[in-house]
Amino acid sequence: MRPHGPRRPTTAKRDPVVASAFPTLRGVVLFLVILRDPGIDYTNVLQVYLPSAVGFVLIGGLLLNFVADARGELGRVLGAVVLVSAVASFFFSVPFVIRFSLLGLAVFALAAPTFGGKGAGRRAFLGVWVGFVLVVSFFVLMLASESTVSVAGNSSPFGGLLLTILLSSVAIVLSLPLGIMLAHGRSSRLPIFRLMSTAYIELIRGVPLITWLIIAFIMLPVALPRGIEITGVARAIGAMSLFSAAYLAENVRGGLQSIPKGQYEAAQAMGLTITQTTVFIVLPQALRAVIPALVGQVIALFKDTSLVTIVGLFDFLHIARQVIPGQAQPFNFIGVFREPLLFAAVVYWMFTFTFSRISLRLEKKLGVGER
């Protein structure tokens, strides 16, 4: 007979991570496809993008399947060869879609011996690879195609406090997952992951943020192929995200080192995979332990957004320092500097104080330092 007992609810809850990814994806599609209305060169699609996508799906899938089954260090050696080829492609006249696809293939090849799995896991891994190739090809095509929408002037529609909030929020959202990946890479037992993550972290942390902003605004446009232009706001977000990720990686690595070895042994005894152990056991405890450091990085990044005024973006501090003291009508504000700067300081303090109070409430709710 069927045992009686409480039934499990039949309605499945939507994954909050997946649910939060869809609005972001819709926003990217809205900007690249609808607002820009790109004029697609279908001849280029048939000659470059379509053969590239089909080739990487087929040849890359076969390579990943072989690397996942390879014994010893052969799989990682092949992944390292693909990585060197991906880096070398940036020094030659190679289409941008091939560069990004090669770089993605290198990451998948290095991860295949660990996350390739067998059976359904292998099919899911290869399915993610196929989706990655299609998404990269689509977005590179949309970005490389010139927009057919004519806009008066070339100034950014963002400015003032809105620009400050946009830069800080988007940079944190992008840098947190990258920082977690770098922290795991630096703690990895695989030499290639550890070397790449360590080199990235030490290089980024050894150079001031303003230097990376200048590189993004002056040197990046020279390195981009003809026809691809990135707005100033996007370049600032990219530089700040990459810079913040290096610091977040060290904070998260400190949390990973605080996890007792018994947690890993217990997860292994329960039959959990490496991914399940990381997602459900190790990472939640590590992030819980470093909440104060993460919130401190958020506050620092929010204040560092004022540096973008040096590269020509009008953030909140720039507006307070230049625009208001320069107005003469209807009231005479010319020569008034102390009051706008004091007001800007109060606004910055309000945001940072709010972040600190949210951090204290979160720490209290999770019991950080109590158990």
Could you tell me if 112 and 173 lie in one domain? no
Report whether 354 contacts 295 (CB < 8 A).
no
Could you tell me if 216 and 328 lie in one domain? yes
Residue 8 located in a structural domain: no
Could you tell me if 281 and 355 lie in one domain? yes
Highest mean pLDDT among 47-51, 76-80, 106-110: 47-51
Strand partners, 315: 160
pLDDT value at 21 more than 50: no
Q: How many domains does the chain have?
A: 2
Which residue range is the domain that position 132 belongs to?
A: 35-150
pLDDT value at 27 more than 90: no
Could you tell me if 175 and 283 lie in one domain? yes
Could you tell me if 245 and 310 lie in one domain? yes
Could you tell me if 163 and 141 lie in one domain? no
Residue 162 located in a structural domain: yes
Residue 27 located in a structural domain: no
DSSP 145-184: SPB----SSS--S--BHHHHHHHHHHHHHHHHHHHHHHHH
Residue 2 located in a structural domain: no
Could you tell me if 200 and 326 lie in one domain? yes
pLDDT value at 223 more than 50: yes
Could you tell me if 84 and 167 lie in one domain? no
Residue 279 located in a structural domain: yes
* pLDDT bucket at 286, cuts 50 / 70 / 90: confident
Last residue of a domain, one of 150, 180, 215: 150
Could you tell me if 282 and 305 lie in one domain? yes
- Among 216, 210, 209, smallest CA distance to 243 is for 209
All residues at 6 or more sequence positions from 181 whose CB lies less than 8 Å from its CB, including other chains: none
Last residue of a domain, one of 99, 117, 150: 150
Q: What is the pLDDT of residue 129?
A: 92
- CATH number for the domain spanning 194: value is 1.10.3720.10
* pLDDT bucket at 5, cuts 50 / 70 / 90: very low
Average pLDDT over residues 159-175: 85
Average pLDDT over residues 80-86: 83
pLDDT value at 6 more than 50: no
- Element at 119 (helix H, strand E): none
Could you tell me if 125 and 165 lie in one domain? no
Distance CA(66)–CA(68), nearest Å, equals 5
Residue 209 located in a structural domain: yes
* pLDDT bucket at 18, cuts 50 / 70 / 90: very low
Q: What is the pLDDT of residue 25?
A: 56
pLDDT value at 12 more than 50: no
Average pLDDT over residues 117-145: 86
CA angle 281, 72, 194 (to 5 degrees): 50
**Of residues 260 and 332, more confidently modeled:** 260
Question: 161-200 in b/e burial notation, b at 16+ Cβ within 10 A?
Answer: eebbbbbbebbbebbbebbbbbbbbbbeebebbeebbeeb
| Model confidence pLDDT, tens digit, residues 297-354 | 889 999 888 888 888 888 888 777 776 666 656 565 666 677 778 888 888 899 889 8
Could you tell me if 139 and 161 lie in one domain? no
**Of residues 76 and 180, more confidently modeled:** 180
Question: 313-328 in b/e burial notation, b at 16+ Cβ within 10 A?
Answer: bbbbbbbbbeebbeee
Residue 9 located in a structural domain: no
pLDDT value at 154 more than 60: no
Q: What is the largest CA-CA distance in the chain?
A: 88
Q: What is the pLDDT of residue 35?
A: 63
**Of residues 134 and 371, more confidently modeled:** 134
